[in-house]
Structure 1
C-alpha cells in the first residue's frame, strides 16, 4: 500500500477524550502460513528463562518459531541477538539522541572491528560475543547486510529519540520509512541467511521483488507490533507508533485508527503472497536457497503474530485471553517523569 504524501513534520495534536478499551483486528486468521517450532525449542526456552529480567519476554519461543530449521548453535545465536535487541529497544526508549549515538558508536565499532576494538561497556561485550560466533559460518554477503542494516537501525532510533523529545509526530509516509529501520527487522532478515547456512548473491538479494518481500514482512511485523504495543506506549506518552500518526493525519478516533492500521497489516500479508508469484529464476541452487529465505520471512510473519500474545511484553498475563476476545482495556496515562 502506498500512503499519500503529506507535509513531512507535524506537531502533536490536541489530546481527545480517552476511551477505555480497543478491539484488535483479527490478523491471526488472515495469516495462513504454517506455524512451526524448532526441534531445539525446549532447550532454548529453558536457557532463556534463566535470565529473570526477560522471563516474561519469551524470546526463546519467538526464536523457535522464526528460525524453525536452524541447528542449535545458530538458533542459540539468533536467540541471544533477539534478547539483546529487546534490551537495546528498552534502552533506546529512555535515551535522548546523544545517548543513542553513544550506544551506536560502541555497537557498530564492535561489529566493524570485532577483534581490535574494545569497550568496557556491557553492550560492547555482548555485541562482540555474538558477532564473533556469527562470522564463523555467515557468508560475506550476510555479514555485510547484517552490519549495514544495524547501522540503519541506530540512525533511525536517533531520529526517533529526537521526535520523542520534541513531541513531534511524523506524517505517515515518513513514519513508515523510519519504522522499517527502528523495528530492527532487517538484521533479523540477515539472520535468516545465517540460520539456514545460505549464501545468496548480492544481486539476488537486491532484486526489487526480493526487497519488496522483505519490506512486506517488515511492515506486517512492525505495524502489527504497533497495534499490540499501543496500550503500553500510550500509557508512557510515546508517540512513535503508527496509531497516533494515523489518528493525526487521517483525523480518526482511536478505534478507527486501529482498524485502519489493521487493514494495512492485512494488505501487507496479501502483498507478500502476491509478490512471490513474480519471482524470476536464477537457477536451481539459487532458487532453492531463495525459497528457504522467503519461507524464513513467512515464518517471521506468522511467528511474530502468535508470539505477541504469548509474551508478557504487551498484554501481561492476559495475552491468551486478548487473543481470544481481541479486547484490550487501556492503561491510565502515567505522570510525565523529569
Structure 2
C-alpha cells in the first residue's frame, strides 16, 4: 500500500458504528461563536493559524458529540474543544517542563484561580468555561471533569513528550496505555452526563464496568484519530505517536499489515464496548439512565467519526491543514 492510496473511510466509513449519528440544531450560532472567539480572543495566534482553525470545523465536532444539548449547554463545550485543541497543538514541540507549567496553570484556573490580564485567550477562556459549566452542572460533575482533564495532561500530554522530542516510538504494550490518555478524550466523556441530564451517583461512577466503558471510548477515539491523521503524519519524522506507525515500525511490517492490525485492535474494543453495554450490572432504579448514558458515550464516537469524514480540513496530507506551533510567537501558551 502506498501512502497516497490510504483512505481511512475504507476502514471507518460513516455509519460503521451502532449508535445514533445526530447533530445539534444550533450549529449556525455555534459557528458564529467559534469564529468570533478565534478572531477576538485568540489573537496571539497568527492570522494564518486562525484561518486554519476556522477550517477545522470544531463547532460541528461539538454539535455531533452533544446533539441533544441546549444552546446554553453547548457554549462551554464549544469553547473547550477550541481551547483544548489549540493548547495541545501549540505545545506540540514543548518540553515536559513547559507543558507541566501550562497544564498546571490551566487546572488552577478551572479550580477557581483568576487569569492574569497578560495571559492569553486560552487561559481567559478556561475561566469562562469553568463559570459556564457551574451555571448548569453540579460541583461534583465539575470536579470529575477537571480531574480527568488533569489525568490526560499528566499521563498523556506529558508522558508522550520524551518520545516526541526523541523521535522514537514506545513499545506497543506501553503505547496502548499511553494513547488512551494522550488522545485527551477523558474530559469529553463527561459531556454524556449533559446529554442525558443525569450525573452518575458516586458508586456508579466508580464501578469498574463504567470505568472500563470510558476507557474503551477513549481508546476507540484514539484509534479513529490515528486512522484519520495518518495521511497528515506519514513522512513527518516528528509524528510517530500513531497506532499504525507504532505497529509498522515496532514490528517491522508493511503499512498495509499495520493498518489491518490496527483495525483489528479497534474492532475488538468496539465489540467489548457493545457487549458490556448489553450486559450492564444491576444498577437498580438507575438502570435505564445508565443504559442511556452509555448510548451517549457511543454517540460521541459516532459523531466524531462523522466529523472526521465530513467537517474538517485538520488532517490533510503532509500536515497542510494543521496549525503547527509558530516558532517566532513570543507569547507563551
TM-score exceeds 0.5: yes
1:208 Cα offset (Å): 1.4
SS at match of 2:135: coil
The answer to which of 61-70 and 44-53 deviates more is: 44-53
1:168-193 Cα deviation digits (max 9, x unpaired):
31111211211111111100012222
1:224 Cα offset (Å): 1.3
Q: In the aligned structure 1, how far is the partner of 2:77 from the partner of 2:200?
A: 19
TM-score by length of 1: 0.82
Structure 1 residues 3-14: aligned runs within 5 Å:
none
Task: Report whether the alignment pairs 1:265 with 2:266.
Answer: yes
1:64-88 Cα deviation digits (max 9, x unpaired):
1110111111112111111111112
Structure 1 residues 236-255: aligned runs within 5 Å:
236-237=236-237, 238-255=239-256
Q: 1:112 to 1:279 in 2, by over 3 A?
A: same
1:19 Cα offset (Å): 5.0
1:134-158 Cα deviation digits (max 9, x unpaired):
1222223321221111111211211
Q: Which residue of 2 aligns with 1:30?
A: 16
TM-score by length of 2: 0.83
Equivalenced residue count is 304
Task: Report whether the alignment pairs 1:62 with 2:61.
Answer: yes
Q: Which residue of 2 aligns with 1:225?
A: 225
Q: 1:311 to 1:99 in 2, by over 3 A?
A: farther
Q: List structure 1 runs of 4+ shifted beyond 4 angstroms.
A: 17-20, 116-119, 329-332
1:43 Cα offset (Å): 2.2
Q: Which residue of 2 aligns with 1:296?
A: 296
Consecutive unaligned residues of structure 1, counting only runs of 5 or more, are 1-16, 317-328
Q: Which residue of 2 aligns with 1:120?
A: 118
Q: In the aligned structure 1, how far is the partner of 2:91 from the partner of 2:192?
A: 25
Alpha carbon RMSD of aligned pairs, Å?
2.5
1:102 Cα offset (Å): 1.7
* Contact 1:134-1:194 at 8 Å conserved across structures: no
1:32-70 Cα deviation digits (max 9, x unpaired):
222111122232134324445322111111111110111
Q: Which residue of 2 aligns with 1:256?
A: 257
Q: Which residue of 2 aligns with 1:210?
A: 210
Q: Which residue of 1 aligns with 2:31?
A: 45
The answer to which of 167-176 and 40-49 deviates more is: 40-49
1:159 Cα offset (Å): 1.7
* Contact 1:63-1:79 at 8 Å conserved across structures: yes
SS at match of 1:228: helix
Structure 1 residues 96-115: aligned runs within 5 Å:
96-114=95-113
